[in-house]
Structure 1
Amino acid sequence: MNSLIIYAHPDKKSFNASILKTVQENLSHQHDVKTLDLYEEEFDPVLRFDAIHRRRDLANDVAMKHYRDLLVWADQLIFIFPTWWSGMPAILKGFIERVFVAGFAYDNTPRGLKGRLAGQAWIITTHNTPKIFLPFAQDYSKVLKFQILKPCGFKTVKVTQVTRVEYMSNHERKEQLEKIAKIAKSL
């Protein structure tokens, strides 16, 4: 299986970095794995429209070809990112806006979006939202799952949320990493 990890966290010593390492080390050796670290690549998240950059031409944007090729190559996407201010990091949002575009990831039809991509996805996100506020908080993993990935053709999307990251003990962090390792091994 071809697995593409899409990683979005600027701190190489963060808990998200530990999650990334855990996933990379525990995916089956039957997986061909590529990691796309958006911060390390200095991905430009700014979507521009003007006379040269027209929205209808985004599916052919030469600057995004490498990323489109990675998505076509992958049978499985694994997203690892923190939730900040009820959303994903701007760099990841910009990646989605520039790469998951009409004519490539989906087609607009009279009945709605028709996905052009296929495969499965696993979303791993971290946040500090207190449990008491979780029912009211925006869950960006659900937005990514139901409003982006599923309409683009992904049939199976698993979500893993790690909460209270800032307040976790080392023991709790280790337990979370063990759970993530177990899931990675089962893919």
Structure 2
Amino acid sequence: MKTLVIYSHPNHQSLCYAFLQKVIKGCNENPHVKELQVLDLYEENFNPLLVFNEHKRRRDMYRDPHIEKYQKQIMWAEQMVFVYPIWWGRPPAMLLGYIDQLFAANFAYRDKRGLFPEGLLKGKSVVCISTMKGPTHYPLIWLNNAHKMLMKKALFHFVGIKNIKFFEFGNMESPNGKQEKKLEKIYRYFKGMVHEYH
């Protein structure tokens, strides 16, 4: 299994970074993970600004040479792992900017006749690990599960990815947030996971 981890948090002293380390440790101890790449969007100085105009058409975005190396990472990966905080009920702008540019037409999907496009990233799997200050059930109860629906239906299903797993960890700034237990859960998951194709 070839695993690509996309990390999106500006602070390496954060709990998000601790989760990233557990993902890496678990993958390194998993015999099914043959290769691992980590993309730290802030360390990479990834530019999240989406630009298209009369000189640069959105439909041609997939040909942009500035994102070619990131496209190659996605095509290489059998599994993508996203590690990020939940801010204002959604992923940070840095990650959304990555999504805007990388999950483009004619790379991640192809328009065709009918209501839905053809997803071009079929066969891959995704794990989303997110942290938030509020309670774990805040997105479900107060936001009608908006975060999961955004990522699952509006993004991953759209590009053909059906195998999606979420870890949403709340109360992460609380002294009673059970942070160590949750970190251990992520480590054990990645140490023991096996990729399943759908």
Which residue is equivalent to 1:184? 190
Which range is displaced more, 129-138 or 77-86?
129-138
Aligned residue pair count: 186
**AA aligned opposite 1:52:** H
SS in 2 for 1:152: coil
Deviation for aligned residue 1:71: 0.4
SS in 2 for 1:166: coil
What is the 5 A alignment of 1:30-179? 30-31=32-33, 32-111=35-114, 112-118=116-122, 119-130=124-135, 133-134=138-139, 135-137=141-143, 139-169=146-176, 172-179=178-185
SS in 2 for 1:64: helix
Q: Is the 8 A contact 1:123 1:141 kept in 2?
A: no
TM-score, structure 1 as length reference:
0.94
Give the TM-score normalised by the residue count of structure 2.
0.89
Report if aligned partners of 2:130, 2:169 keep a CA contact under 8 Å in 1. Answer: yes
Q: Which moved more, 1:87-96 or 1:125-134?
A: 125-134
Amino acid at match of 1:97: D
Decide whether the 8 Å contact of 2:137 with 2:170 is kept in 1: no
Q: 1:176 to 1:131 in 2, by over 3 A?
A: closer
Shift of 1:132: 6.7
Which runs of 5 or more residues in structure 2 are unaligned? 194-198
Q: Deviations over 1:131-175 (max 9, x none)?
A: 5744122542331122111211112000011011111447x1110
Structure 1 stretches of 5 or more lacking a match? none
Q: Which moved more, 1:94-103 or 1:51-60?
A: 51-60
| Shift in alpha-carbon separation, 1:132–1:5, aligned structure 2, 3 A | closer
Deviation at 1:49, TM superposition (A): 1.2
Per the TM alignment, residue 47 of structure 1 is displaced from its structure 2 partner at its CA by 0.5
**Distance (Å, rounded) in 2 between the aligned partners of 1:141 and 1:91:** 18
